[in-house]
Amino acid sequence: MNLFKTVAGCVLFCLLTFVHLSAVAAAAGLRGAHVTQIINDVKLLPGQAAARAAVVNDSVDAGTAVRTGADSRSELTFLDLTITRLGANTIFSFNEGARQINLRGGAVLLQVPRNGAEAKITTVAVTAAITGGTALLEANKGFPTKLLMLEGIGRFYPTGHPEQAAIVHGGEMAMMTVDGQIMRPTKFNAALVYKTSKLITSFPTLPNADLILAVIDEQQAGQLGGPSSPSSPSGTKDLVDVISTSVAASATPGSSSSSSGGGGSTSKFGPPSAITSPNPYVITSGTVINTDPTITTNGMTNFGKIYRGAALDGPLPTWLGSSPSSFDSVDFFDSNSSGGFISPDSKTLPIPGFLFASLQLAGDPTVFNSSGYPTLGLVSQGGITSSPTGAVFTFGGIQQVGLIALNGSINLSGISFANFGQLFIYARGTGSNLTLAAPISNLNKVQLRAENDIQISAPVTVNGTAQDNRGFKALAGNNLVASSTVNSHQMILQSLGGITVTSSAQLLSMLDASGNTGQILILASGSSGAINVSGSIQAEQGEVDIRQTGDTGQTTLNNATIHGDVVKLSALGTNGVLNIGSGNMLNADTVLKLYAVGSNGTLNFLSNVTLSSPSNILAANTINISQGVVVTINSAQQADVFTNHPNYFGFGGTGSTDTTGTFGGAGAKNPQPLSSAPPLGDPGHGP
């Protein structure tokens, strides 16, 4: 019996000790705070030292205040897993023993772990005590102080008078007016706040998120009682980090809200500020982009802005902090709009965008686009490069992505792009080049622009079928070089200078999934520029149109293989020259046209060639067939020739066997005046 009493006593002693220690732990002070998230400008203010910029994992003791700047936020986590998030323009400190947070002004989110000890948020005028719950509180001089309980239970009372506390439950809001009166708690739209508050959406998911969602479900099921909210008191200030109290209180659960973008604040609009650190900004596989818009890498969150179009936000270059250039207004010849880069097509709007000092692509980011915006813009004030990580960029399958260097070159290699909608790349500024050595596959549409040169040296496959949402287009202000395989139903290579299709290039336009025929259009307009083609160009049952329109421009083919239903090869300037060199295979299923129809235009056959088409039409002021050269017409009928100067022998030519060549195969009809030639036709419009 004595042994039994001794054992029982020991057990009772251990049990009481455990209960005592548990109570002590539960009531432990707020200790061991460290910084877990930083967004923009966050400073630590030690009591006896100069202010300094905070960094992730900084320890914060009770003698140190934390201050956030404009458009800035931060998160601190304590040893007991209490979480504190600070809104913009907020000054915060804490008292360890009293489990008390001191708020000098601004907005704060406090989450106390379930079953945790009570923690307080104290201002000069009012105190909110939170027990195992999640709350948002804002206090700014000259405005009401508001407490929104997302879950759990809070007490809200004048500082120093807890006996006057109002009890606030999850889904309820309490307010102290400017004259010190505490209003009776009312319901607010917890779902709207949870979806839009930047103290929630700008950070990782809260540990107590399931409890908040339970409150939201209760509200939406109509299970929460209590009085409905009155109109918002006069003088209520729109919150930056919570949302407008009037919106939160008056928008009943399940109803729609007129809040612009859901945030109750226009801070997401207006010209963007450049993200200058780190420089370059490196997008990695750990980067998280929210089109709200925020971007987070390595625990650091920065903000973007949303461009709504020229009517609301002005020209896009101006909105980005630059000035419109003449090249910005240049568009592809087939464009249905006239705005170019200055005024993007309405189908691309609105555009959540981020502006960086410079940018490097290293890993595919996670992209959240709950708002369903059509385009994501990543813009650099300088250049854009990539890291050779082998990463495949999908951008979460978003509809469109724009990569823009405002005043710098873009050099992409060692990565690839795949499996999303459209990709727009623009190297802007005098002398800016675009080098695409990054493969592209399974996109609907690709557009490349560079104010200077474009180099395409990686394979590209584009398979969009919807009208205005398909094709591959490249526009260069100077020279464009294609040296890889490009496969697209619709293809345009356009340059204000010259274009080169190298021997390693294959430009392919095949029938799409709907059976639509393709087009490959190559257009250069430099006054003395040149188009040089040595590769393979094929449009299955479609059109190939290669034309140089500059005054003294030239189009030259050497070792080129060209095939389409309709093939047009031309140099259309006043003194334009079309040269058919060696090793060419030129085939058309319906008609083949070789034109140099300027007043001094010249068509030169410099080497033996076979023209294979049911209809072959040659038109130029002067047609020269070099000595010993034979132009073989592989057709059931003779070629139609329109020229004022037929410099060849036979078939109505005026040349001699000693100095010129001739036609072979089916031969050619006697020449007619150039003025009688049928029109070449607009590019992309068939024969």
**Using one digit for the tens of pLDDT, what is the confidence trace for 214-242?**
999 888 886 434 433 333 333 333 333 54
The reply to whether 276 and 251 lie within a common domain is no
| Alpha carbon distance 33, 348 (integer Å) | 44
Q: Which of the 8 DSSP states describes residue 651?
A: T
In this prediction, residue 47 carries a pLDDT of 73
Give the CATH number, domain containing residue 106.
2.60.120.1440
Flag the least confident range among 264-268, 389-393, 439-443, 668-672.
264-268
Q: Give the chain's largest Cα–Cα span.
A: 136
Six-digit token pair at 673?
């005046």
Residue 608, Cα to own-chain centre: how many angstroms? 50
Cβ 134 vs Cβ 168: under 8 Å: no
The reply to whether 195 and 339 lie within a common domain is no
Binning pLDDT at 50, 70 and 90, where does residue 468 land?
low
**Using one digit for the tens of pLDDT, what is the confidence trace for 544-562?**
999 999 999 999 999 999 9
Is the pLDDT confidence value at 178 over 90? no
Residue 581: φ, ψ to 5°: -90, -145
Is the pLDDT confidence value at 373 over 50? yes
In this prediction, residue 163 carries a pLDDT of 80
| Alpha carbon distance 378, 281 (integer Å) | 11
The residue type found at 565 is D
The reply to whether 323 and 444 lie within a common domain is yes
Q: Which of the 8 DSSP states describes residue 152?
A: E
Q: Dump the DSSP string for 543-555.
A: EEEEEE-STT-EE
Find the Cα–Cα–Cα–Cα dihedral 471, 474, 475, 479, rounded to 10°.
-150
Residue 486 lies in a domain: no
Angle at alpha carbon of residue 395, lines to 390 and 400, rounded to 5°: 125
Residue 5 lies in a domain: yes
Flag the least confident range among 93-97, 201-205, 396-400, 436-440.
93-97
Which domain covers residue 214, as residue numbers? 92-262
Closest CA relative to residue 361, chosen from 455, 427, 447, 282: 282
Residue 120, Cα to own-chain centre: how many angstroms? 42
The reply to whether 327 and 420 lie within a common domain is yes
Distance between first and last Cα of the chain: 113
What is the number of structural domains in the chain?
Answer: 4
Closest CA relative to residue 86, chosen from 100, 65, 58: 65
List of residues 6+ apart from 510 with CB closer than 8 A: 487, 489, 518, 540
Cβ 453 vs Cβ 428: under 8 Å: no
Instruction: Among 202, 232, 262, give the residue marking a domain's end.
Output: 262
Cβ 357 vs Cβ 334: under 8 Å: no
Q: Which of the 8 DSSP states describes residue 117?
A: P
Flag the least confident range among 60-64, 259-263, 655-659.
259-263
Residue 503 lies in a domain: yes
The reply to whether 195 and 273 lie within a common domain is no
The reply to whether 388 and 441 lie within a common domain is yes
The residue type found at 540 is E
Closest CA relative to residue 77, chosen from 285, 303, 299: 299
Cβ 119 vs Cβ 110: under 8 Å: yes
Q: How many CA atoms lie within 13 A of 614 on its CB side?
A: 7
Instruction: Among 228, 262, 296, give the residue marking a domain's end.
Output: 262
Is the pLDDT confidence value at 488 over 70? yes
Q: Dump the DSSP string for 291-354.
A: TTTEEEETTEEEE-EEE--HHHH--HHHHTTS---TGGG---TT-S-S-TTTS--GGG-SEEEE
The reply to whether 258 and 279 lie within a common domain is no
* Residue 190, number of CB atoms within 10 A of its CB: 27
Six-digit token pair at 63?
């003698």
Residue 71 lies in a domain: no
In this prediction, residue 226 carries a pLDDT of 41
| Alpha carbon distance 405, 415 (integer Å) | 18
Residue 333 lies in a domain: yes
In this prediction, residue 467 carries a pLDDT of 64
The reply to whether 379 and 420 lie within a common domain is yes
In this prediction, residue 402 carries a pLDDT of 98
In this prediction, residue 339 carries a pLDDT of 58
Is the pLDDT confidence value at 443 over 50? yes
The reply to whether 237 and 257 lie within a common domain is yes
User: Which helix or strand (DSSP H or E) is residue 85 part of?
Assistant: strand 83-86
Angle at alpha carbon of residue 393, lines to 392 and 394, rounded to 5°: 115
| Alpha carbon distance 429, 178 (integer Å) | 53
List of residues 6+ apart from 363 with CB closer than 8 A: 283, 284, 285, 286, 287, 389, 391
Region 110-137: what's the mean pLDDT? 89
β-pairing, 294-297 vs 73-77, is unpaired
Q: Which of the 8 DSSP states describes residue 203?
A: S
Residue 302 lies in a domain: yes
Q: Return the SS3 of 23.
A: helix
Residue 509 lies in a domain: yes
The reply to whether 96 and 175 lie within a common domain is yes
β-pairing, 281-283 vs 536-548, is unpaired
In this prediction, residue 480 carries a pLDDT of 98
Flag the least confident range among 60-74, 393-407, 437-451, 662-676.
60-74
The reply to whether 251 and 279 lie within a common domain is no
Residue 481 lies in a domain: no
The reply to whether 248 and 278 lie within a common domain is no
